[in-house]
Every structure is written in structure tokens, then in C-alpha cells.
Structure 1
Amino acid sequence: MALSDTKLRSLHGKPYTGSPELSDGDGLGVRISPLGAMAFQFRFRWDGKAQRISLGKYPAMGLKDARALVGELRLLYDKGINPRTYFDMEHASSDLTVKQCLATWMDDYVRKQLRTNTINLYEAIVVKHMTDAFKGRPVNSISVKDWISFFSAQEKASQKRARMMLIQAKSAFSWCLRRQLIDRCEIMRIEPKDVGQRSETGERVLTFNELAQIWIAIERSRASPANKLLHQLVMMWGCRLSELRLALRPEFDMKDLIWTVPKEHSKMGNIIRRPIFSQAEPIIEKLMDAYDNVMFPGHDLNEPLSISAANRYIGRIRDDMEGFGYWRAHDFRRTVVTRLSEEGVAPHVTEKMMGHDLAGVMAVYNKHDWLDEQRKGYELFADKLYWHIKNFK
């Protein structure tokens, strides 16, 4: 019978008289001592002999992580490679510090296998704020109390960032545990619910009058033209911020009036085609006249505006709009879809406007982008927005 977290929690640390080993499947099992100490192990046969590899102690290693590690070991086994070689890494050491663990995880996994946006997210949170934590101390010497004190200090700066930092850190240390770079990490005993606050699921749909107020606040603010125009275009296109923030000049076909987002800039890894509608065209031309290849540069004209600079800017705009309530740039996406749906724009068109792939059979066989229908939808939305801007003033 497969193991479960509930069963493991019920047995851990308590007197135990049952079978010394419980099986989960695919060679994964957990050994339990009479005192309730538990450790995961992987059983397999090599050269006709039974083999066993110790994976890690519970709860420092969770069931989910143990299953993930066994999956990787099974892949080696199926390829005719001894699973023990998985742990033969030249930099393996149980004395790694937080900084060394994060650096190894980033270099050997994150930067090699994950998308640019995810890499940037890890660098902006866990790498930036945890690299210098517990300087010189081996990870396995840091107690739960030490970790709680660290995150309590982080909560004072930002509740939501503290929780996200914990989640990302657990991913990093779990990766290190599975590769036996460290033999334990007490942070794995802390649950996300114990730290900070969860990022709220966005629900706000802005009215056209509210959009007009934000637009005017952007116009009146002190910021670079690139930063201002970036957010005004995001408001009208309903695109993800980084799809536009990272945009380069060749992505904008001013002859056929099509903006093509390459898969490298897309969250879902797909190519997105959107029309350059009539109200957006002069803004794009203005940007092309002002800048070179990078359409929305930061301090360095050859580098895109950073996500932190864009977020700080919106934070300043939001703080200056007293009594307006909380909103964020991502709410523009929900607003575009909702308002156009109210105007009768078909769901498959708004899905394409948002850069989503269609579901089911249509995703396989229908590659049409409905650019004409998208264009009409965007122009309808922009017309209503401009009317409210004009009348609000």
C-alpha cells in the first residue's frame, strides 16, 4: 500500500512495534525504528544483488521529495546506470552553507532547466535576500528556531515576500537533499502557512473610470517615457508585463501591424501574435523614434527595464492614489477580458488576446489567431478608455 503524509505524521516520533519497513512503490520505502525515527530508502537489484540507498530522514525530507528523487534514480536504473552514481558529485559536502547551496542549485539546475522569467524571480527573492543568511554556518547546523527567527525578521519587511522566500528556499534545499549535498536541513520542517501571508488571488476588475484615473496618474508621474508607455500599453493590450517589457524592435512588424511575442518571453513558452491596433500604433512609433533595439530600456539603453523597477513604479502610482484601493498591473488582463466579454467579444478571441492556447482538440488543429477579431476588440476597448480619459479630465 502506498505511503501518505498523514500516515507518516501519525507514526513519527512515537513508539512503534509494526513492520520495520513500509513500502511505497518503485523501490521507495521508509524504515521505522522502535522509537519512531524514520528514514527513506531506495531498493533495487544490481548485478543480481539486492542494493539499498539511504535517501534522507523524515521529516527533513518529505514524501513528495523522496518520490521525486526515486523517480530520478529509476531513470538512471532504466538506462543501465547504477543509481549510486547519482550522488557522485565532486562538490558534494554536508558542510555547505546557505550561500553555497543556493549557488549550486542556481548553477546546476535553475539556470540550466528553467525559463528566464522563473530564473529572474528566484534571483529577485531567495537569492537576493538569503544568500548572506547565516554566513559561514553549515546548513545542517541551523535549527528550526534559527530559521523562524530569520523569517520573523523578513516578515517585518514584507509578509508576502517572506512566505515566497520560504517556498523558494525549500525548493532549493530539497534539491540539495535529494542529491545528498547536505544530509539535513531543518527549514524543511517549516510549512508556508507558518510564515508571512499568501499572495492574494487577484479578483479586481477595474471600471473604465478607474482605468482613466490610473492612466492620468501615469501621465502626471515622474518617470521615464519608457516606463510610462510600458504600463499604458499593458493596460490596453492586457498582456503580461514581461511580454512587453522585454520586447525588442524586430518583434513589431509595422508593415502588417503585428506584434509577435517570442516563446522566450512567454510564460507558457508559446509564440503569441497580437495586432498593433490603431491606438497603439502611434505609441509604438514614438518608442521606435526614441530608442534603439530595446523598446523599453532602463538606465542602460541596451538593457530592458527591470521587473523590480516596473513594480516599484506601479507601487508609487498606487500609493499616490489615496482611497482607490489595492490594484496591480496584472489586473489589466482580467479587466480587458471582462469588459470585452461584456461587449460580446467571443471567448476564443479573448483567449488569444491573453496569449493563451485554446483547449482540447482546437489546441492541436486550430492555429488561427483571429487577428482581425482581436484588432476590433482592442480598438473597442481603447475607444472606451480614451472616452473616459477625456471626460474625466
Structure 2
Amino acid sequence: MALSDTKLRSINGKAYNGPAEVTDGDGLGVRITPTGTIAFQYRFRWQGKATRVTIGRYPTTSLKDARVAVGEMRALYMKGINPKTYFTGSMGEMTLKECLDHWWDKYVEGLRENTRILYRSVVYNTMYTEFKDIPVADVPISMWVKFFDKQEALNKKKARVLLTQLRSVINWCISRQLIPSCELTKLSVKNIGKKADVGDRVLTYSELAKIWLALENSKISSSNRVLHQMLLLWGARLSELRLATNAEFNMSDLIWTTPSLHSKMGNVIRRPIFKQIEPYVDRLINTKNVILFPGMDREKAIDRSSSNTYMKKMRATIDIPDWRTHDFRRSLVTNLSGEGVMPHVTEKMLGHELGGVMAVYNKHDWMDDQRKAYELYADKIFWHVKSLG
């Protein structure tokens, strides 16, 4: 039943024993206490949960004003924006938790899986419970400094990454006028934590051969073993191959095409299926499974943590100092450069776009040159494999 000023005036400030809630329409209603205190509320569902926002008390907030507010909040809802921001956005009272929720819903959810995982592990999980009930615009610089002092004590590299990514969150919210400002932006990234180390490990052909043999002789028969053998030869990123599907491999033209969805830089990558790796691709495709490297669930790709755990255990069994799977990429390029392979070819092998004007106009993949380089690289590794065997 629709509300009216006459009805509200008859209830306001008087003993009341009727229904505790009376609806009006479009989610607007009033909550009435036994003493006749009336509060306007807007009810809606957000992310599957019933939610309510208090608009104001009658008669300070009139029925007309409450209906206008609900109309504007419904407009936000239809745009996919949490109606709560109708108040918090204009008054700058959003907490850090609310900022993170809004940023996640409207920005991060549209990003690639690996980026979402990174943001959740670094920013979301660390910051979600910080500065509870304090508007983020009111958190003083001293509290931010104290927080990052603690983060530096735990991990200097992570502290810097956290600040960099959190500044992105805050600037995103400021640009959308959800908050007016934030003292966090006064912190300089170069003064917090430590810059992440740039890897410089290059594996020699004999070291790569030792890793290949260790994988080959592994008693654990799983997708992980073949996945890492192929990473060693192709020099692809883990996600590019781990998430690969049967349809990406053209066995007629012998080309593997990584879609932009699985590429770190969002570009399509084409690599040759060269002669030494062709038998491995053939066997995987002949399993008739859509996912090339399935995990426990045959319909889903093996997860990153499982891959990392597998190689962590593998590294402990191989007498090679200080190396990681990602070093396969650097080793491929460095060793092939020593063999005279040109930089534009090795850049394409890594899946990089060429710089400058070439990135815009030159879409050539140098597929034949890539194929020759890959075959040379594999030959060198397998020669050392035979020598060690």
C-alpha cells in the first residue's frame, strides 16, 4: 500500500502497534518503532544478498524527498553501481573496504584471470580489513606510513608492489568521484619498500639438459611434467601454455596461436610447432580433451599453484643453483642470440610486440625463422641430453 503524508503524520511521534515495516513502491518503505519514529529505507538485492539503505527520518526527510532519492538510487542500480554510493560517493565517506568492493565489481572483474588472481593476493587480501569504519578520505598520512612500515618489515618487495597497486585503486575511485581525495597519494613509491629484483639467470644447454632428464625420469605422471618440458623448449609464459586448448593448435600448418585472452600483453601470439615438439602436441591432441593440460577436473586447466608446487619439488632434486621456470624464457633468447638469431625473431618467440612504428604496421611473425631457431635450440639441448645419458 502506497504511503501518504497524511498516514505518516498520523503515526509520527505517537504510540504505534501496527506493522514494523510499510512499503511504498520501487523498494521504498518505512520502518516504524513502537514510539512512532519513522525512518525511510530503500531495499534491494546486491550480489545476491538482501540489502537496505536508510535514507532519513520523517519529517526531516519528506516523503517526496525519499521518493526522489530512491529514484536516483534505482538509476545507479540499473547502471550496475551499488546504490549505497548515492550517499557515500557525494559525501566522500566510503571506507577502504567499500572502495575495494566497488573497484573490484566495476573494474577488476573485467580483467584476465591471472590479473584478478594477482590483485586479490596482493591488494584485496591484504587491505580488505584495514582502517575499518574510517572514511578513506579521512585516513591521515601518519596511519598510512605506520601501515607500510609494518609491510616493509614483513617483505620489502611486496610492500612496494602493494603501494603501487593500491595507489591505482585509490586513483580509480577518485577519478570516478567516489571519494574526494586520499592521503595515500602523497606516499612516493620510490620511498617505500624495495624494487623487485630483475632476473638475470641464464641456464646453459647442459643445465637445461639436466632439467629435461629430471622431468623425463620423474615418477610422477601428470600434465605438469609434459607442460614444463614444452615450456623449456618453447620459452612461452606459464599461463600461455597452461591454459591452452586443443583448438589453438593448427596441425595442418603446424602453428600454435595463443589468443589474446591468455596473453599477458593482450596480443595474439603465433609460434611454430617445430619438429621436436610436434610429437608431444600430437599426443596431447589425440587425448581428445578440450583442455590440453587438465588438472583434477578434466574440464579445467591445471592451476598455477599446482604447477608451482610441482616445480618446487622438482628443483630440490636437481643439482642446479638458483633457477626458476621463468628462466627458460631468458635462457632461450640469450642462448639463441649467441647462435646469431636476430632480435626481432627472438622477440616474436617470446610473444612480445615489436616497438615503435613496427608494432603498428608490421604484423609479420617470421614463422620460418622462428621454426629454424626453435629446432636449433632443441637440437642443442637434446645433444646435451644424450651426452648426460
What one-letter code is carried by the residue in structure 1 that aligns with 2:294?
P
* Residues 172, 387 of structure 1: alpha-carbon distance in 2 compared, 3 angstrom cutoff: same
Distance 1:124 1:390 in 2: 42
Q: Per-residue deviation at 1:371?
A: 2.0
Name the counterpart of 1:331: 327
Cα deviation code 1:319-357 (max 9, x no counterpart): 5556602x3333222211121122222333222222233
Distance 1:169 1:222 in 2: 43
1:281 to 2:278 alignment:
yes
Name the counterpart of 2:258: 261
Name the counterpart of 2:71: none
Q: Per-residue deviation at 1:249?
A: 0.9
1:166 to 2:163 alignment:
yes
Distance 1:173 1:94 in 2: 12
Q: Contact between 1:208 and 1:384, CA under 8 Å: does it hold in 2? A: yes
1:233 to 221, 224, 230: 230
1:347 to 2:355 alignment:
no
- Structure 1 stretch 234-243 or stretch 349-358: which is displaced more? 349-358
Partner SS state of residue 107, structure 2: helix
Note the 1:97-246 alignment, pairs <5 A. Answer: 97-112=95-110, 114-155=111-152, 157-219=154-216, 225-246=222-243
* Residues 178, 276 of structure 1: alpha-carbon distance in 2 compared, 3 angstrom cutoff: same
Q: Per-residue deviation at 1:155?
A: 4.2
- Structure 1 stretch 242-251 or stretch 220-229: which is displaced more? 220-229
Name the counterpart of 1:295: 292
Distance 1:157 1:290 in 2: 46
* Residues 160, 178 of structure 1: alpha-carbon distance in 2 compared, 3 angstrom cutoff: same
1:250 to 2:247 alignment:
yes
What one-letter code is carried by the residue in structure 2 that aligns with 1:182?
I
Cα deviation code 1:127-146 (max 9, x no counterpart): 23322334444324544444
What one-letter code is carried by the residue in structure 1 that aligns with 2:260?
K
* Residues 216, 101 of structure 1: alpha-carbon distance in 2 compared, 3 angstrom cutoff: farther
- Structure 1 stretch 346-355 or stretch 234-243: which is displaced more? 346-355
TM-score normalized by structure 2?
0.68
Q: Contact between 1:245 and 1:296, CA under 8 Å: does it hold in 2? A: yes
- Structure 1 stretch 281-290 or stretch 334-343: which is displaced more? 281-290
What one-letter code is carried by the residue in structure 2 that aligns with 1:306?
D
What runs of 5+ residues in structure 2 fail to find an aligned partner?
1-83
What one-letter code is carried by the residue in structure 2 that aligns with 1:379?
E
* Residues 314, 199 of structure 1: alpha-carbon distance in 2 compared, 3 angstrom cutoff: farther
Q: Contact between 1:99 and 1:131, CA under 8 Å: does it hold in 2? A: yes
- Structure 1 stretch 216-225 or stretch 261-270: which is displaced more? 216-225
Distance 1:145 1:320 in 2: 48
Partner SS state of residue 273, structure 1: strand
Q: Per-residue deviation at 1:374?
A: 1.5
Distance 2:221 2:167 in 1: 38
Q: Contact between 1:249 and 1:288, CA under 8 Å: does it hold in 2? A: yes
What runs of 5+ residues in structure 1 fail to find an aligned partner?
1-87
Distance 2:233 2:384 in 1: 13
Q: Per-residue deviation at 1:171?
A: 0.9
Distance 2:344 2:320 in 1: 36
Distance 1:190 1:161 in 2: 16
Cα deviation code 1:143-196 (max 9, x no counterpart): 444434444444455432232122111110122233332344333333333433
Q: Per-residue deviation at 1:281?
A: 1.6
Q: Per-residue deviation at 1:259?
A: 0.5
Cα deviation code 1:259-292 (max 9, x no counterpart): 0111222233322211111221222233334572
Q: Per-residue deviation at 1:248?
A: 0.9
TM-score normalized by structure 1?
0.68
> RMSD value over aligned CA atoms?
3.0
* Residues 285, 134 of structure 1: alpha-carbon distance in 2 compared, 3 angstrom cutoff: farther
1:95 to 2:114 alignment:
no
Q: Contact between 2:207 and 2:320, CA under 8 Å: does it hold in 1? A: no
What one-letter code is carried by the residue in structure 1 that aligns with 2:116?
I
Distance 1:138 1:221 in 2: 54
Cα deviation code 1:23-57 (max 9, x no counterpart): xxxxxxxxxxxxxxxxxxxxxxxxxxxxxxxxxxx
What one-letter code is carried by the residue in structure 1 that aligns with 2:259?
P
Q: Percent identity?
A: 49
Note the 1:5-44 alignment, pairs <5 A. Answer: none
Bigger Cα Rg:
2
